[in-house]
């Protein structure tokens, strides 16, 4: 993500640990036009990753240049509350069938939140800045990127203590996991590679792609991972059964999140540079004519019931609400 390069300076100045923000963060400067297809919700500074509660009632927005999560009511499309105390929130992973979601904070923090009452139930600090986060299928293990250490930390969910670690490449960012919970997939932004790590043996296979691989999203059963490459203007479909890339999307414009629709019939790709969301058929991988213009420097994407979607606009501190065609 852009976050690694662009938030470090703000923490170097304030806390002695991050790189610089992507934008000034002045909410009053929002000038995203309302359109027939979308409207905009003002959120915190640097909105990025999104988490939709299983009942689809609430959307959590990780404001990575802030210390809050914005809570959006998906019925009224309004910010109804916020969760404070998350230090530069980065990513989310739901923990199995529980009512908990784990949040990684760039400023060396992992927090567990009960999304039924929006409360922090446990948190832990670490020695490294943290990035992407994922969990085992049963939710008993959490895997989080330790950027400074160039490692993945394996945490016990109950204690949030580190019980193992795995080496990555340089500039680790996004992370995914296989269907059988046996392998981790890590994007290395400085190496231009994707590491496939065997959790049991710690052996690593690297797929070299160049550019800047960043974000990872999974199909429901984790047999497919969708990976963006920001500098190559590409995105990949990686089969976790064969550990091979089965398709490459080309002609993108600074791709960020690549997300499979809920019914798994469409793929949505958020383009950071031209502020558009592209749509593809999930079977043929052919581009569908519809494109959705959103706000400035978009990153995150969540869809609800094939009817509407939310996109986090990092560059103007807003959330776009799209009426899907």
Query: How confident is the model at residue 33, as a pLDDT?
Result: 44
Q: Say if strands 183-188 and 172-177 run parallel, antiparallel, or are unpaired.
A: antiparallel
Torsion-angle region of 202 (φ positive above 0: left; ψ -120 to 50: alpha; else: beta):
left
pLDDT tens profile 145-155? 999 999 999 99
Closest CA to 211 of 195, 194, 186: 194
What angle (nearest 5°) sits at the alpha carbon of residue 44, between those of residues 42 and 47? 95
Is residue 124 within 8 A of residue 105, CB to CB? The reply is no
Q: How many CB atoms lie within 10 A of CB 52?
A: 20
Domain 42-167 has CATH 2.130.10.10: yes
* Residue length of the chain: 325
> Rg of the Cα trace of the chain?
18
User: Residue 324: which residues within 8 A CB-CB, separation 6 or more?
Assistant: 292, 303, 306, 307, 308, 309
Question: Is residue 220 over pLDDT 90?
Answer: yes
How many Å apart are CA 19 and CA 284, to the nearest integer? Answer: 40
Mean pLDDT, residues 236-255 taken together: 98
- Tell me the whole-structure pTM to 2 decimals: 0.90
Mean pLDDT, residues 96-117 taken together: 98
Place 27 in a pLDDT band, splitting at 50, 70 and 90.
very low
Closest CA to 43 of 322, 310, 317: 317
Q: Where are the domains of the chain?
A: 42-167
Question: Around 197, how many Cα atoms within 13 Å sit in the side-chain half-sphere?
Answer: 26
Is residue 103 within 8 A of residue 96, CB to CB? The reply is no
Closest CA to 269 of 278, 173, 32: 278
Helices (H), the chain: 3-6, 8-14
For all residues of the chain together, what is the average pLDDT? 91
Helix (H, G, I), strand (E, B) or coil at 202: coil
How many Å apart are CA 180 and CA 138, to the nearest integer? Answer: 11
The DSSP bridge partners found for residue 89 are 105
Query: How confident is the model at residue 37, as a pLDDT?
Result: 54
- Compute CA 299 distance to the chain's CA centroid, rounded to the nearest angstrom: 8
Q: Is 79 exposed, middle or buried (0-12, 13-18, 19+ CB in 10 A)?
A: middle
Helix (H, G, I), strand (E, B) or coil at 18: coil
Mean pLDDT, residues 300-305 taken together: 96
Question: Is residue 250 over pLDDT 90?
Answer: yes
Place 325 in a pLDDT band, splitting at 50, 70 and 90.
confident
Helix (H, G, I), strand (E, B) or coil at 7: coil
Is residue 273 within 8 A of residue 253, CB to CB? The reply is yes
Question: Is residue 157 over pLDDT 50?
Answer: yes
Q: Is 244 exposed, middle or buried (0-12, 13-18, 19+ CB in 10 A)?
A: exposed
Is residue 295 within 8 A of residue 301, CB to CB? The reply is no
Question: Is residue 20 over pLDDT 50?
Answer: no
Mean pLDDT, residues 92-100 taken together: 98
């Amino acid at each position: 993500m852009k976050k690694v390069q662009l938030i470090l300076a703000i923490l170097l100045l304030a806390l002695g640990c991050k790189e610089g923000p992507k934008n000034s963060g002045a909410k009053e400067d929002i000038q995203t036009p309302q359109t027939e297809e979308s409207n905009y919700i003002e959120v915190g500074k640097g909105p990025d990753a999104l988490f939709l509660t299983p009942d689809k009632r609430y959307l959590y927005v990780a404001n990575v240049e802030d210390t809050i999560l914005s809570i959006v009511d998906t019925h009224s499309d309004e910010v109804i509350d916020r969760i404070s105390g998350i230090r530069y929130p980065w990513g989310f992973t739901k923990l199995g069938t529980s009512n908990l979601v784990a949040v990684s904070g760039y400023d060396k923090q992992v927090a567990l939140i009960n999304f039924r009452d929006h409360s922090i139930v446990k948190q832990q600090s670490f020695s490294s800045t943290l990035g992407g986060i994922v969990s085992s299928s049963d939710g008993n293990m959490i895997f989080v990127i330790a950027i400074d250490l160039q490692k993945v930390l394996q945490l016990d969910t109950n204690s949030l203590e580190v019980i193992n670690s795995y080496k990555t490449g340089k500039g680790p960012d996004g992370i995914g996991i296989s269907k059988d919970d046996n392998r981790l997939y890590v994007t290395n932004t400085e190496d231009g590679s994707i590491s496939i790590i065997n959790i049991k043996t710690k052996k690593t296979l690297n797929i070299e792609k160049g550019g800047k691989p960043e974000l990872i999203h999974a199909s429901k059963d984790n047999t497919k991972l969708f990976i963006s490459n920001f500098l190559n203007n590409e995105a990949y479909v990686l089969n976790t059964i064969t550990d091979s890339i089965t398709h490459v999307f080309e002609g993108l414009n600074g791709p960020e999140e690549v997300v499979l629709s809920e019914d798994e019939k469409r793929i949505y790709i958020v383009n950071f540079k031209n502020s558009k969301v592209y749509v593809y058929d999930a079977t043929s991988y052919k581009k569908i004519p519809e494109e959705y213009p959103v706000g400035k420097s978009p990153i995150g994407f969540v869809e609800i019931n094939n009817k509407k979607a939310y996109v986090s606009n990092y560059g103007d501190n807003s959330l776009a609400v799209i009426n899907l065609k």
